[in-house]
Amino acid sequence: MKRIWTTGIGKNPVMGATIAIALAVAGAHSVALSQGRGGGQLSGMVDRVWEDGFDLQTENRRVRVDSWDICGDNTPRHISTGDRVTVTGEFEGGEFDAFVIADGEGKEVCVAEMRTRD
């Protein structure tokens, strides 16, 4: 067996390999809420869409997103089931209130809706 890690953990290469794999998996699946400006950011795939919101499936949970503030009642015009999106916002009342929604390429969606509502 090739030694992968020879320091710490009693110089046990199996334990070292196990820890290295666990860290790699944790890094690959860290889609958790990253904090910023009083809220955070979630990324994942859209699971269901309705007029003023959608369900977002992240790596480890399903989150109900309220998109009314930026899409009004027109969310299905801009977001579809299966889309990959990143949502910036904050949790309030059991939902994630969206401030910004970006598609898989980083382009903001519902921008035109926000301008017509102001």
Residue 113: what pLDDT?
A: 62
Residue (of 89, 88, 91, 71) closest to 79 by Cα position: 71
> Whole-prediction pTM value?
0.65
DSSP state of 38: T
Rounded to 5°, angle at Cα 38 from 34 and 39: 40
Residue 61: what pLDDT?
A: 94
Q: Please report, in tens digits, the pLDDT of each residue of the chain (118 residues total).
A: 444 434 444 555 544 443 333 333 333 333 345 544 458 999 999 999 999 999 999 999 999 999 999 999 999 999 999 999 999 999 998 999 999 999 999 999 988 665 555 5
Rounded to whole angstroms, how far apart are CA atoms 50 and 48?
7
Residue 44: what pLDDT?
A: 98
**Contact, 102 vs 85, CB < 8 A?**
yes
Rounded to whole angstroms, how far apart are CA atoms 115 and 45?
26
Cα dihedral 55, 49, 112, 69, rounded to 10, equals: -50
Residue 17: what pLDDT?
A: 40
Quote the tokens at residue 51. 């007029």
Rounded to whole angstroms, how far apart are CA atoms 61 and 86?
14
